[in-house]
Structure 1
């Protein structure tokens, strides 16, 4: 950050009517102290306001966190474990004990606050955009209220500096703001990006202000030659790299370049800032503590001694990754980051866990969506060909698993009726959640009496590949749980006569009472109304829990329909680069 003393002469021309040298020096010192004090106060005040907001949000999430931890265990959701969980049914009749063991439902915010309509071009929901405007308003007020952008350029620099710990906290996968609020880092990553853009904007104002002063006083070459200002230039270059490389088109298309450039830019930014001005030390120390804690926790939660078994799912254009040695430690719906030794230990990819714990262990379905997943699928097919005639599950692939991450404070087991909707590869999410509900129902730890799964998939072949997972969940479900699965084949016209299981293997015909195969696309309003009616049939209070994971258009359509159905609590599981 460029020194505030460079601006004192500009103020002096307005405040100093005395021409004596002693008075000039004294006024220069007073002006410098005043500007520095105001700038520091603005940064500290903004930091306190943001900290207060985080604390209030954390307090709001306490009841949700408490009941989730009480239901799933206080250690669950933090670290994967080889210790198996008990899946044995409760010895008592479910009607007599379900109310005392099942989790409580806490009412969610009203739909008007949880609006899911998106602001065009920006990609944020209305509540997110409103919160962002409030944050931007506070930042701009702290930076420019009763301040001359040129003569007090240090103020915008201090305000930008005060935001850096929050940006790091929002981007931390473990131990950051997402962990404190118990919503996961992916849910707050949008704010991480936008606050980072505000930091770049304020830093640009800060730099331009000083450059104007240097040019006005004809001291540009002298000032640029000073080591502290050269370090400031290095810091700003690093920040500029991070800003441009983080733009969505670049980030999505050149992900690997983005990761390397992002880390390199952050190192330049912090390194230059640290040696540029002593006043940055408290903020940078906080920043480094947060980052260091995140690195340590990620290292502690990474499982490096496991083997996975790959199964190609050609119809679904995916690969099933099974790690049977990890049997517990995650909530249904959480995700992990996986590294495969044959593809390089330096590259990790996130996948939702499609199982809920038990002897099957961790299972994820990796869709062929990029070079890495396509190579993984090729390896799984090579493995099958290499061991033809043998059990392909006996062929090991070394993996490192990091996590678990994510999972909102949304207890599906607290609702008498649960509707889970997925599109395409989003089936991984609803498989894990459905298996968790089935296990909880069998153990008398769920209020759920009716569970409906709706999956939209392009072709029959993909449905065939996933049927064993549906069959496993059906086998876990107790008799008192009304369980139905609707698979919509979107490549088939709704007017066609599609007989259930007409094109599927005969061994799955016994599940006809649970699984319904339908052509076309689902009508979400009718499905939601049926789920809401089911909740009222089984319990006069409690409502309907709706979870969805899939393409953005499908999620948005279901959200709009959910607004019009009373008693629905909605959760959308999304992931974006």
Structure 2
């Protein structure tokens, strides 16, 4: 019985569902167990990298969230003061009144000029933090605050690439996911109408450095991804076969689009061939976005929002554009051109800039290039002025030289008469005009209000005075209505020669006369750097150029550190407790010198005057 039971048990184990299975190890079972494990191991690195890419997006969102929370009080105040209406769309009218200026809404009434208020806890903390964060680092064009943010963003991006159960070099898909994860952040920081800049109160030009850094990381990860798979296919001897597949073809096309944007965006190309950089940038960007979605469909949740936001930005640019007839005045001796649009009197804040197109310029692509060629120009007037929107262009390139030549040609037609003007109108006080399109406004101080501080210092170099004139004119206007705390304003202008000074002479005299009628102690000091050395003329010989008791002209090169230090001691002697603000506009060397001088001031003096803030506008893109 025992033997029969054993035999039946053995037969039952050998017969499964009617099939006879030999005693040897079944081959089918081994294949069945190995195949699922192999598929799981192949898919694991891809899913792990995808998950880390999502974590990187969450990290970038957290960084922006912290920045938005810190800027939230200023943003709410700016919106309540009708900042969106004043600084978004150019229009004919003017938004004025008690709520038309930042920080006057909280006061509910005109500011008290008395310097008795003490800074709150948050401002006492920023007294130490702000100068430190804005101090330039030696050897690189970054401040301490910018370097800290860059380090965080770079560390997070490298974490997605390097951290995981597999070797990132042997598994190139991880580098590809890192590039895709950085793409939305790069895109969000590139738009002129970006939600990041709007909510944070930063102009798009302030976010450009972070945009470039993340863009270079994206290109680096994409190159590692491409090189890794190229190496794999070379080792397996299947390069020719893989290049024929749509997967690899679309990947190569995406890489070409990225390299097109990266190579033509170097500083030399941006400075000398701005339009080539601009059009190659958006063309390569679109090639990359479309090709990457074809290359790997799992990237669509990262790429589709970029396409949607790009479309919204294009619509906003169209809505913020205005075509008008402008008055153009040439200044050939100094190489400047003044463009005035009387029909636009509002819709911008002091210190903002617009993109200008001049349709009547000849030359490129049979004149068709003028429809798309545009350049950023600072607005040199405050809202509500009698002249409207005023732009001052310095001739230092092909486009600006053609604008000056156009203004001279039209001026000669009016002065001497041509077949277009007619000899009967020659010699009359007519103003040459040209059709232009302005897009904007963009940038500017936004949440930074010069009028809420007790002491204001403006430092400008060259054509950077256009920014300072608009801000100073707006400050005078605020002081007239009692909406400014500032009691002292110093304007420092560093200019090359007398010919350039004469371009702005009328605006400076108008500013001094207007300031003398309001409770604001405004002074102007001009430093002409080349006049004294070239002609041997002393400062006394230049006093006739600025005949006003609050104006002074010196024929020498100033010390920016001494200027800022003297301004701090002046604020201290006048018992300023509302703080001091420095507005800077000029080339990178001037901005860097000002930041270094501010960072070298003793924090004890800054604490006594209520802190020191700064707003910088730098030439170049």
Q: Same fold (TM over 0.5)?
A: yes
CA spacing shift, 1:212–1:86, aligned 2, 3 Å: closer
Residues 1:137 and 2:152 aligned together: no
8 Å Cα contact 1:150/1:213 also seen in 2: no
Q: State the Cα distance separating 1:274 from its structure 2 match.
A: 1.6
Query: Map of 1:139-218 to 2, 5 A cutoff?
Result: 139-146=157-164, 147-218=166-237
Runs in 1 of length 4+ with deviation above 6 angstroms?
Answer: 100-106
CA spacing shift, 1:319–1:392, aligned 2, 3 Å: farther
- Please name the residue that 2:89 is paired with: 79
2 CA distance for matches of 1:19 and 1:199?
Answer: 45
Residues 1:48 and 2:58 aligned together: yes
Residue 541 of structure 1, aligned match among 559, 562, 577: 577
- Please name the residue that 2:422 is paired with: none
Q: State the Cα distance separating 1:54 from its structure 2 match.
A: 1.2
- Please name the residue that 2:103 is paired with: none
- Please name the residue that 1:574 is paired with: 618
8 Å Cα contact 2:173/2:225 also seen in 1: yes
8 Å Cα contact 1:413/1:447 also seen in 2: yes
Q: State the Cα distance separating 1:279 from its structure 2 match.
A: 0.3
CA spacing shift, 1:471–1:197, aligned 2, 3 Å: same
- Please name the residue that 1:360 is paired with: 387
CA spacing shift, 1:307–1:459, aligned 2, 3 Å: same
Matched residue SS, 2:193: coil
- Please name the residue that 1:497 is paired with: 538
Q: State the Cα distance separating 1:238 from its structure 2 match.
A: 1.2
2 CA distance for matches of 1:300 and 1:101?
Answer: 43
8 Å Cα contact 2:111/2:485 also seen in 1: yes
Q: Which segments of 5 or more consecutive residues in structure 1 lack a partner in the other structure?
A: 1-17, 91-95
1:156-191 deviation digits (Å, cap 9, x = unpaired): 211210111111110100134222311110001011
1 CA distance for matches of 2:81 and 2:283?
Answer: 42
CA RMSD of aligned residues (A): 2.7
1:217-266 deviation digits (Å, cap 9, x = unpaired): 33322222111211111111111222211222233233232223222221
Residue 268 of structure 2, aligned match among 249, 252, 263: 249
From the CA coordinates, give the structure whose radius of gyration is larger.
2
- Please name the residue that 2:524 is paired with: 485
Aligned length: 547
Residues 1:447 and 2:485 aligned together: yes
TM-score (norm 1): 0.89
1 CA distance for matches of 2:562 and 2:78?
Answer: 30
TM-score (norm 2): 0.83
- Please name the residue that 2:37 is paired with: 27
- Please name the residue that 1:513 is paired with: 549
- Please name the residue that 1:416 is paired with: 454
8 Å Cα contact 1:67/1:104 also seen in 2: no
Q: State the Cα distance separating 1:440 from its structure 2 match.
A: 0.5
Q: Which segments of 5 or more consecutive residues in structure 2 lack a partner in the other structure?
A: 1-27, 101-108, 362-369, 416-426, 607-611
Residue 98 of structure 1, aligned match among 76, 87, 111: 111
- Please name the residue that 1:316 is paired with: 334
8 Å Cα contact 2:451/2:475 also seen in 1: yes
Q: State the Cα distance separating 1:491 from its structure 2 match.
A: 1.0
CA spacing shift, 1:576–1:25, aligned 2, 3 Å: farther
Query: Map of 1:336-347 to 2, 5 A cutoff?
Result: 336-343=354-361, 344-347=370-373
1:45-81 deviation digits (Å, cap 9, x = unpaired): 0011011111211221122233344456442211111
1 CA distance for matches of 2:83 and 2:178?
Answer: 41
Matched residue SS, 2:349: coil
1 CA distance for matches of 2:309 and 2:79?
Answer: 24
